[in-house]
Amino acid sequence: MKKRFIVGIIFVVLVLLLGCTTKIHFTKGADLEGSVLFNAFERADTGNICGSIYDLDLSTSETTLLTSASSTEFALSPDGSKLVFVDDGKCSESGENKEKVFIYYFDSGKKEVINDIFDGSGFVWSPDSQKILFGCDFEEQGEGICVVDMETKTVPFLGEGDPLFAEFDWVDNENFVLSFGSTIQNVNVESGELQELSLQGMMMDVNSAGDKLSLVKQAGSEEGQVKIFIYNFESKDEKRLTTSGINTKEMNPLWSPNSKYVAFETSPYVSKSFSRGNVAVASVETGKEEFSSERFSSEVLVTSEGEGGLHPAWSLDSQYLSYISGRGKINIISVAKRTHNVIEPHKGTIHTIAWR
């Protein structure tokens, strides 16, 4: 009788534990299709650290070299026809040793330079793939925010300020949100008119419909309360995305193309130190966590605050999310199918990924 009672208690406890557990089970290994672009950096025979952008065929795991690129970031246009990046020429045939902004065209395999711009960062394409918003550095005007029009090749200079402290993203083809600190403004490209949104935050990302903005800001008075919020442009409503606790920091939100999910980087807050970073995915509708790399990864994932970075990127159909681990590995997960793949191209330290 006593034995039965103990067994019964154990069974009840197990049921309760299983009922309360929110573990997310992913199957390793799955057939993949399409291609992913990534840049990687290796030390050349000359001693220079040389960067290159590659095209990775997911079905064969074969890589194709596209172009040299000295910056740790690049951006693929929404229509998949071109990408923008910075190259200093050190590791190319020119050996020019001067940073310039380039456009690479997939149909021709050729690249062209955007004149008069010394350097660029934070590249964001407009939804119609006709304009590029980025932090720029002109030899005469200095640093600020610029927009390149692909048809006219004009480069409007939309305000001075250090691009390192700027946050920006397109709302539609003619307007973008901008913040040089905490106050967020809406900027019209044609008129240059600024409109304050009475909204504060950083690490902004606008969804594909242009009606919602994800941002990061302090959620309370206690340290470590750095959380992701969703702002509705139409209703002006603002809400927390997740219900994570005080000691979890959330940053770098990224909308899925179908606007159903937000991927973000998360790390524990311990005495003002963020020693480990992970990628998480939350449902916008429910705030429920659908994926966390911490659940099955034994590697130390480096946050964007350290060397390398996770840099999550969604596939165009919102079916897959990729992120970086171990500096040279590309992780690809399917939130819906619960699959997880790891690909190691062996091309050096990887910094940026984009789906094509």
CATH code, domain carrying 327 = 2.120.10.30
pLDDT band at 161 (very low <50, low <70, confident <90, very high): low
How many contiguous H segments (helices) and E segments (strands) does the chain have?
1, 29
Let me know if residue 98 belongs to a domain: no
pLDDT over threshold 60, residue 331: yes
Q: Looking at the domain assignment, is residue 330 inside a domain?
A: yes
Domain count along the chain: 1
Any domain includes 316: yes
16 domain-assigned: no
User: Does residue 149 lie in a domain region?
Assistant: no
CA 314/CA 244 separation, integer angstroms? 23
**pLDDT for the residue 96:** 65
- Lowest average pLDDT, out of 200-204, 248-252, 298-302, 333-337, goes to 298-302
Give domain status of residue 131, yes or no. no
Q: Over the stretch 114-127, which tens digit does the pLDDT of each residue have? A: 876 667 888 999 99
- Residues constituting the chain: 356
What is the distance between the alpha carbons of residues 292 and 294, in angstroms, rounded to a whole number?
5
In a domain, 271, yes or no: yes
Computed over every residue of the chain, the mean pLDDT equals 79
CA distances from residue 262 to 13, 96, 140, 230, 281 in whole angstroms, order as listed = 34, 41, 39, 10, 6
Predicted pLDDT at 23: 38
Distance CA 100, CA 114 (A): 7
Yes or no: say if 39 and 52 are a contact pair by the CB < 8 Å rule.
Answer: yes
Task: Give the pLDDT confidence of 202-261 residue by residue, as tens digits.
Answer: 888 999 999 999 998 877 766 667 889 999 999 999 999 988 777 778 888 999 999 999
Distance CA 145, CA 177 (A): 12
Range of the domain at 289: 208-348
According to DSSP, residue 260 is labeled: S
Q: Considering the domain boundaries, does residue 36 fall inside one?
A: no
Task: Tell me the two tokens of residue 37.
Answer: 């672009």
Strands (E), 163-304: 167-170, 175-179, 183-188, 194-200, 202-206, 212-218, 226-232, 238-240, 248-255, 261-268, 278-283, 289-292
